[in-house]
Every structure is written in structure tokens, then in C-alpha cells.
């Protein structure tokens, strides 16, 4: 896993290309093991290759057409049209042969890429049978050769996570692409005659003319507690996100951008008729094989372990494939201030014969580390659980484990969220299976933390005709926004937040899973996963998030996902029987990865008062927000809106964000 950056600029803006080293420096945490640069002349006549302080000594003597030739301070940008930069975290092929930017033997195609291709071994064998030879054992070279031979069509052959830029120096076009689920990030911005891309917004913000101006629509959605990460918009008006499963193309040096276009369609195939036990058996084999591929690495691999079903399954499957490995798992314990799964985590670790590292944070740590957390994420985060994950990744790095497997994605694919029971009820009612829906509702009442009334209301909303659903969705912004937010400020900018349409069927549960996968849940969680891990130079791998596994789960009958006992992930539980301890499989509670937001915030009064002191964002009534904070610090009830207000104010102050700034120039 790495950090990538690039700038395209016409002759009038060639001076901007000198900013490539500053962009790469902003991404140094993503790749401490090497840095590389390639600057291409605007007339197509040549390329200059450079290294920098992080480039290992052995790279300078590399016998390859992509070896560095000059120090980066001698990297001339005059007359150039494209600059590529890369920071390397060495995971596969630790030698300089795996460095980037990398080119094909004829020098036509160049790549910078962030991620891992887990089926690179199989793809390499296919290419070798077709006559290809390889210089390295890296997945980067396999990816490059595959793209050079098959173009965009090659993306559909990949099992992995990736954000990549491929330059065709003959056609002088640049292809940017992102993996099907958006595990690896890619951001870009444009100006007349130029554009730039990078793994994180902070790299783009180093460029002259890219303004740190907030996007009012994202600000409004965040303050209203609505999803923010499913589309192109980011919290910065100048910076766009390439959505998951999309690509775009750029001409060099004119910087004409085409796209983004969707190359991966997550819409599930027509519903399968496969029986439950057969589906469980197929899923078991598919999952175990996927974990094996995700374990491919030239450095030690560990696991992030919450104690829930998904992360426990990943850990035990790792032991299945590596019976003699020294396996480490990293868990978080919130202590007495929040529900804890640490007991279940210890059970899973014992079953996997893994060494468990338990991370505990003192309540005051949040205030101490908040500035670092904000700088790591670039954009506001929704709760203190993000900080808990940040600390887990730090512990892994401190222990020398730089690759962690995690269970992210199973809840979205296999209906693991409690509200999805209502979606299943709606599907049953829409098919006139009323008695089955009632039985499911009664079963749900036996689960912890389930409101029968809330399930009925949610299912009823899903069953509304389209016109009535639109009326119900027209919720006034004042009901979504805290009282200390000036809705007029947002309205003047066309940014009043409204909920997205509810995911409709006729297969309501499958629609809910698809929405969670692409809009309401997973995109934001993946942003947190990436920033928290890469802040500590740790690669996070997610075995559940593969096109094969997603396609299989999303086309199963809904009853295979939410069982008659109203628990989600029914077919996954059956598939994992005999692998995961029964004490975890049989759990009826769902805690999730939670942190004691209220306790931690109350233990950081100096930080909270400090960030709310003086002027704040222009849509805030700061005296009213300060009064709410003082009521809370004095023992009053906690509300998530207080976290969001404090986080937005801290983000704006820490990063120097403007709220009425201009666009890129």
C-alpha cells in the first residue's frame, strides 16, 4: 500500500508540476520505504526519473528502465506536461525492482498505484503462459502488464483494492481508476489547463491555487447526521472524490478530463434459487480461499479483532491457513465507559492460538491526540470510535505488524445491521406474506436493543408508494439540524440537507444491502479505515470485500441473509460453523466497534472549551453551542450533535478552512 500523486498541466502552467515533490511529502506516512518521480515533457520527447531522501541506496543501481536517474531537487519541470509521484510501503517484493513509477519494458506505459492485487499470482501465471516475462515478483508489475495488454477491461479481472494512474505515453492519455468498493481512495481537482490527483486531499491542498474552502452541502449533511461519502463531493469545494468502481481519463498536457464513468456495477444478479445449506457450503469455501489470498505478503500479517463475528472469522481463517505462524491480533477495550466485546475477542484469539494485544485509551487521550487525528483524516469524523481504531492501528505499527486483515464489509453484504430486519419485513409484506412478516417481527423482539415500534415504522415507510415517500422525505431542515445551526446560511447556498430516498425493492432487503454498500454505511467506514491505518504506515486488508463474494451474497434469497430468528448474516453463520467458536456464532447482541464518546469528551473539557472559544464556522450560533457544551460538561445528557459541532469547528481551525472561499484558480 502506498501514496500516489500526479499533476497534468499545459505549457502555460508547467510551473505547477514542480509541486509534485510537495504532494509526495504530504503522503510520506503512506509510504516511508521509498519515493519516486517521473516527469514527462509536454511534447512527448522524454521522461526524467528521480528519487529522494527516502529512496534506498540500492534503488540507484537498479538495472531497470524506471530506475531513478537524478535527485529530486534536480527534477526539472520546465516544458513538462505530466508529473507522477509515489511513496512506497513495501509489502510484496521488498527489493527496488518493485518501486514506482514503473514502466513496461518498451517504456510506453507507466503506472503509479496504491493497493494490493490478491490474485496477482494467478494473473502472473496466465500472463507467463502468454509469453510475458517479469523483472520483479511484485503485484505492481502484474497489474501494469495486464493493463498494457487489455486496457480498461483488465480491471474486471482483479481481486484487490486499488487506486491507480496509468499513463500511455504514445496516446498521451492518463487513466485513473478505483477499486469496486472504494477501499483505496483517490481524489482530484481541476483548473483551466490543468488537473491533479492524489491519495488524500492534503496532498492536493499543497498546490498553489487549490483553496481550503468548505463545501456547504457536505457541511450541511454532516451537521444533520447524514451520509457524506457516497458520491464525488468532499468537504473541500475544490477537491473531488473518484467514486468507488469508477474511472476517468485525462489528456496530456491539455488536461481535458472525461468522466468519471462506472466500470464496476454492484447491482446484484437476479435472485438465486440455491438452497440454504448449499449456499453455506459454497460461501465457506469462497471465504476461506479469499482469506488465503489476502494473506499473501512478504512481511508479517496480523488481524484487527473486535470480537464480533466478522473479525473473529477472519482471524480463525488465518490460523486455518497458517497453522505454525506467529499470529497477532489487535483489539480495543473501552473499559467500563462503553459496552465491550473484549471477552469475545479473547475467545476468538484463544481459538486461533493468536497473541492478543489489547489497546486501552485513557479518557484524556482524545483531547491530546485530536489535532493529529484531524490532520490524519483531512475531513471531519463522526464519532470517537474513529479514534479508537486509530489507536489500534498505532499499536499494530508499534508491534512491527504492518499488514492487518479486518472484517469490514460483511454487515453490508450479509444484512448485519439491525434496521435491515425491517427491510426483510417489508419484502415479506410486499409479497403478501403477512404472517411470515409478523413472525419475523416477533422474533426480533427477543433480540437486545430492538424496538418493535421502530421496526414497524421503518418497514411501513419502505412500503409507501413513491409519491407518499417523497412527501415523507421532505423533512424540514430545522428538524435535522441542531438548533445552533443557521439553516438560512445553508439555504442561501443551496445546501439544506434532506435524507436520501429510502432504498426500495421489490427486494427491499437486497436494496438496503446495496445502499449500505454504496452510500449510507460503507464508504464512510472505508475512509476511516484507510486514514487510520495509513497514518501509521499499516496496510489494512478486507477479505469480505471482493466482487466474487459480494456478487454471491447479494444474489442469494433474502431469507438466507436474515433468518427466521431475525438475526442477520444467517448463511454466513452457518458457513462458519465449526470454524468460529459457538460462543461467538450464537451471540444475539450486536455491539459493533463503539467508543465512550460522552466519557471521553467529558474528560477533555479544556479541548472542548478551547475549540468552541471565539468565532467558529459562520453557520454556528457559537453562544448557543457553548451553552450546550457547558450543560454537557456539567453532567447533562450527551448528544451526537455536540461532537459534530466541536469536530467541525476543530477541523476548520486546525486546517485553516474557509467557508466562503473561491474555487481553484
Range of the domain at 339: 276-413+522-585
18, pLDDT greater than 70: yes
Residue 133 lies in a domain: yes
* 590 or 250, higher pLDDT: 250
CA distance 221 to 207: 27
pLDDT bin (cut points 50, 70, 90) of residue 44 is confident
Spatial separation of the C-alpha atoms in residues 213 and 303, rounded to whole Å: 38
pLDDT of residue 77: 67
Strands 328-332 and 302-304: parallel
In 360-451 the beta strands, taken as DSSP E runs, fall at 403-405
Q: Could you tell me if 269 and 555 are in contact, meaning their C-beta atoms sit under 8 angstroms apart?
A: yes
Q: Does one domain contain both 92 and 184?
A: yes
CB-based contact 650:387 (threshold 8 Å): no
Enter the C-alpha cell of residue 531: 486514514
Q: Is residue 29 part of a domain?
A: yes
For the ranges 500-514, 531-545, 602-616, the lowest mean pLDDT is seen at 500-514
Q: How many angstroms separate the Cα of 475 from the Cα of each of 408, 422, 470?
A: 32, 21, 10
663 in a domain, yes or no? Answer: no
Please count the structural domains in the chain: 4
Please report, for the domain that includes residue 393, its CATH number: 3.40.50.620
Q: Which of 516, 536, 556 is the last residue of a domain?
A: 516
476 pLDDT above the threshold of 60: no
Judgement on whether residues 450 and 545 belong to the same structural domain of the protein: no
Same domain, 499 and 536: no
How far is CA 225 from its chain centroid? 19
594 located within any domain: no
Q: What's the start-to-end Cα distance of the chain, in Å?
A: 32
Average pLDDT over residues 627-642: 94
Averaged pLDDT of the chain: 93
Q: Is the pTM of this model over 0.85?
A: yes
pLDDT, one tens digit per residue, over 190-244 is 988 899 999 999 999 999 989 999 999 999 999 999 999 999 999 999 999 999 9
Say if residues 330 and 392 touch (Cβ distance below 8 Å). yes
Q: Are residues 549 and 479 in the same domain?
A: no
| pLDDT (average), residues 598-611 | 93
Domain membership flag for residue 150? yes
* % the chain with pLDDT above 90: 84
480 in the same domain as 343: no
pLDDT, tens only, 142-201: 999 999 999 999 999 999 999 999 999 999 999 999 999 999 999 999 988 899 999 999
- Do 430 and 540 share a structural domain? no
**Per-residue confidence (pLDDT) for residue 665, from 0 to 100:** 29
Q: Which grid cell is 97?
A: 525492482
pLDDT category of residue 258 using cuts at 50, 70 and 90: very high
Confidence at residue 593, expressed as pLDDT on a 0 to 100 scale: 66
Domain endpoint, select from 214, 231, 262: 262
- For residues 402 and 345, membership in a common domain is answered with yes
444 shares its domain with 345: no
Considering Cα of 240, then 246, then 252, then 258, what sign does the dihedral take? Answer: negative
Confidence at residue 142, expressed as pLDDT on a 0 to 100 scale: 98
**Burial class of residue 376, CB neighbours in 10 A (0-12, 13-18, 19+):** buried
Are 322 and 432 found together in one domain? no
- Residue 79 region by backbone torsions, left for phi larger than 0, else alpha for psi between -120 and 50, else beta: left
Residues 222 and 282 in one domain: no
Q: Which three cell numbers stand for residue 554?
A: 447479494
Q: Based on the domain organization, do 208 and 321 belong to the same domain? A: no
Asked, for residue 270, whether it belongs to a domain, the answer is: no
pLDDT of residue 472: 66
Domain boundary among 485, 516, 547: 516
- The binding site consists of 139
Q: How far apart are CA 71 and CA 74, in angstroms?
A: 6
Please give the average per-residue pLDDT across 581-608, as a whole number: 87
Q: Render pLDDT for 400-453 as a digit per residue (tens, 0 to 9).
A: 999 999 999 999 999 999 999 999 999 999 999 999 999 999 999 999 889 999
Tell me, yes or no, whether 304 lies in a domain. Answer: yes
277-303 pLDDT per residue, tens:
999 999 999 999 999 999 999 999 999
Determine the pLDDT at residue 662.
44
Per the domain annotation, does 303 fall within a domain? Answer: yes
Residues 19 and 34 in one domain: yes
**Helix H or strand E encompassing 117:** strand 109-117
Question: Of 44-48, 264-268, 382-386, which has the strongest mean pLDDT?
Answer: 382-386
- Residue numbers in the known binding site for L-glutamine are 139
Amino acid at each position: 500500500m502506498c501514496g500516489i500523486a500526479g499533476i497534468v498541466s499545459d505549457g502555460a502552467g508547467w510551473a505547477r508540476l514542480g509541486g509534485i515533490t510537495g504532494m509526495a511529502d504530504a503522503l510520506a506516512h503512506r509510504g516511508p520505504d521509498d519515493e519516486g518521480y517521473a516527469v514527462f515533457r509536454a511534447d512527448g520527447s522524454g521522461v526524467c526519473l528521480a528519487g529522494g531522501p527516502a529512496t534506498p541506496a540500492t534503488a540507484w543501481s537498479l538495472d531497470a528502465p524506471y530506475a531513478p536517474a537524478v535527485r529530486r531537487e534536480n527534477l526539472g519541470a520546465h516544458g513538462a506536461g505530466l508529473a507522477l509521484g509515489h511513496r512506497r510501503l513495501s509489502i510484496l517484493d521488498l527489493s527496488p525492482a518493485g518501486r514506482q513509477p514503473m514502466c513496461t519494458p518498451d517504456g510506453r506505459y507507466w503506472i503509479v498505484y496504491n493497493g494490493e492485487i490478491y490474485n496477482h499470482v494467478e494473473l502472473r501465471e496466465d500472463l507467463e503462459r502468454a509469453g510475458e516475462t517479469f523483472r520483479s515478483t511484485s503485484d505492481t508489475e502484474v497489474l501494469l502488464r495486464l493493463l498494457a495488454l487489455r486496457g480498461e477491461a483488465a480491471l474486471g479481472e482483479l481481486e484487490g483494492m486499488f487506486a491507480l494512474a496509468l499513463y500511455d505515453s504514445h496516446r498521451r492519455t492518463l487513466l485513473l481508476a478505483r477499486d469496486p468498493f472504494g477501499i483505496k481512495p483517490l481524489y482530484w481537482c481541476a483548473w483551466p489547463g490543468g488537473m491533479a490527483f492524489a491519495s488524500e486531499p492534503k496532498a492536493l491542498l499543497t498546490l498553489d491555487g487549490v483553496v481550503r474552502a468548505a463545501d456547504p452541502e457536505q457541511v450541511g449533511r454532516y451537521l444533520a447526521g447524514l451520509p457524506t461519502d457516497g458520491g464525488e463531493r468532499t468537504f473541500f469545494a475544490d477537491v473531488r472524490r473518484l467514486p468507488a468502481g469508477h474511472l476517468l481519463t485525462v489528456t496530456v498536457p491539455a488536461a481535458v478530463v472525461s468522466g468519471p464513468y462506472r466500470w464496476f456495477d454492484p447491482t446484484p444478479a437476479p435472485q438465486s434459487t440455491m438452497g440454504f445449506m448449499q449456499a453455506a457450503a459454497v460461501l465457506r469455501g469462497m471465504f476461506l480461499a479469499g482469506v488465503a489470498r489476502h494473506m499473501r505478503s512478504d512481511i508479517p500479517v496480523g488481524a484487527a479483532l473486535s470480537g464480533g463475528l466478522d473479525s473473529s472469522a477472519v482471524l480463525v481463517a488465518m490460523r486455518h491457513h497458517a497453522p505454525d505462524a506467529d499470529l497477532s491480533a489487535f483489539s480495543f477495550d473501552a473499559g467500563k465507559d462503553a459496552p465491550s466485546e473484549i471477552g469475545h475477542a479473547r475467545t476468538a484469539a484463544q481459538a486461533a492460538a493468536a497473541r492478543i494485544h489489547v489497546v486501552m485509551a485513557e479518557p484524556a487521550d482524545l483531547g491530546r491526540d485530536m489535532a493529529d487525528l484531524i490532520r490524519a483524516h483531512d475531513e471531519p469524523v463522526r464519532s470517537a470510535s474513529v479514534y479508537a481504531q486509530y489507536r489500534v492501528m498505532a499499536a499494530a505499527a508499534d508491534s512491527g505488524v504492518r499488514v492487518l486483515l479486518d472484517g469490514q464489509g460483511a454487515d453490508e453484504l450479509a444484512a448485519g445491521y439491525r434496521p435491515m430486519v425491517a427491510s426483510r419485513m417489508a419484502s415479506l409484506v410486499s409479497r403478501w406474506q403477512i404472517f411470515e412478516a409478523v413472525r419475523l417481527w416477533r422474533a426480533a423482539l427477543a433480540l437486545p436493543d430492538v424496538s418493535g415500534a421502530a421496526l414497524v415504522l421503518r418497514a411501513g415507510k419502505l412500503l409507501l408508494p413513491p409519491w407518499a415517500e417523497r412527501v415523507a422525505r421532505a423533512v424540514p431542515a430545522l428538524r435535522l439540524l441542531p438548533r445552533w445551526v443557521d439553516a438560512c446560511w445553508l439555504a442561501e447556498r443551496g445546501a439544506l440537507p434532506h435524507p436520501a430516498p429510502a432504498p426500495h425493492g421489490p427486494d427491499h432487503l437486497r436494496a438496503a444491502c446495496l445502499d449500505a454498500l454504496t452510500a449510507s454505511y460503507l464508504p464512510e467506514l472505508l475512509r476511516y479505515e484507510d486514514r487510520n491505518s495509513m497514518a501509521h504506515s499499516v496496510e489494512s486488508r478486507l477479505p469480505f470485500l471482493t466482487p466474487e463474494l459480494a456478487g454471491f451474497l447479494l444474489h442469494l434469497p433474502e431469507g438466507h441473509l436474515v433468518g427466521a430468528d431475525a438475526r442477520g448474516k444467517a448463511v454466513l453463520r452457518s458457513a462458519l460453523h465449526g470454524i468460529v467458536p459457538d460462543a461467538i456464532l450464537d451471540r444475539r447482541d450486536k455491539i459493533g466497534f463503539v467508543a465512550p464518546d460522552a466519557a471521553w469528551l467529558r474528560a477533555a473539557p479544556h479541548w472542548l472549551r478551547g475549540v468552541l472559544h471565539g468565532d467558529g464556522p459562520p453557520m454556528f450560533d457559537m453562544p448557543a453551542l457553548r451553552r450546550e457544551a457547558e450543560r454537557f460538561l456539567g453532567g447533562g445528557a450527551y448528544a451526537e450533535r455536540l461532537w459534530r459541532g466541536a469536530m467541525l469547528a476543530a477541523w476548520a481551525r486546525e486546517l485553516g478552512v474557509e467557508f466562503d472561499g473561491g474555487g481553484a484558480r
